[in-house]
Amino acid sequence: MSGMDEFPYPLTVEGPWPATSTKILTSKLQIYFQSRKKSQGGDCEVKICEQSGIATVRFKSEETRDQVLAKGNHSINIEKQVVKLKVFKPSDAENQTQAASGAVSWQICLYFLLFFRCSIVLQVCKYGWVVTLLFEEFW
């Protein structure tokens, strides 16, 4: 049985991590989210994307995941620093990103179209839109 099958209920976790190894961070998050007392959590696995620094915590039960979300405020100690965690369902992240960045992205694209000679390439990615501006020579 693979990890995703055994732990099918994900949460996304972000935080201003101090410069530390992925192994240490994974361990700290694992201990925290497994603790019913600290996080309202339970049996879980933690994966961290090294490029983005975003962690995914997967739980065995939907009830446990929902209890972690209901707790609200989460923080852990890493290298003598208290790190406040932002914890949310992955689908919520996509909705937040699209809603927050949509209007601004289009305003920026319009600005560049009006004031510079450029082409705009729009691509959909996991977290929303990627806008690529291809500049020609300035006027």
Position 20 scores a pLDDT of 79
- pTM value is 0.64
Q: Does domain 3-88 have CATH number 3.30.70.330?
A: yes
Report, in angstroms and rounded to the nearest whole number, the Rg of the chain calculated over CA atoms. Answer: 19
Q: Say which residue the tokens 């289009």 belong to.
A: 106
DSSP code for 43: S
Where in the chain is CATH 3.30.70.330?
A: 3-88
Question: How confident is the model over 52-98, as pLDDT tens digits?
Answer: 888 999 999 999 999 999 998 999 998 888 999 999 998 755 544 44
Q: For residue 69, which of 77, 79, 61, 81 has the smallest C-alpha distance?
A: 61
Position 97 scores a pLDDT of 46
pLDDT surpasses 70 at 113: no
Q: What is the mean pLDDT of the chain?
A: 77
Position 34 scores a pLDDT of 97
pLDDT surpasses 70 at 123: no
For residue 39, give every residue at least 6 positions away whose Cβ sits within 8 Å of its Cβ, in sequence order, or none.
32, 33, 68, 71, 74
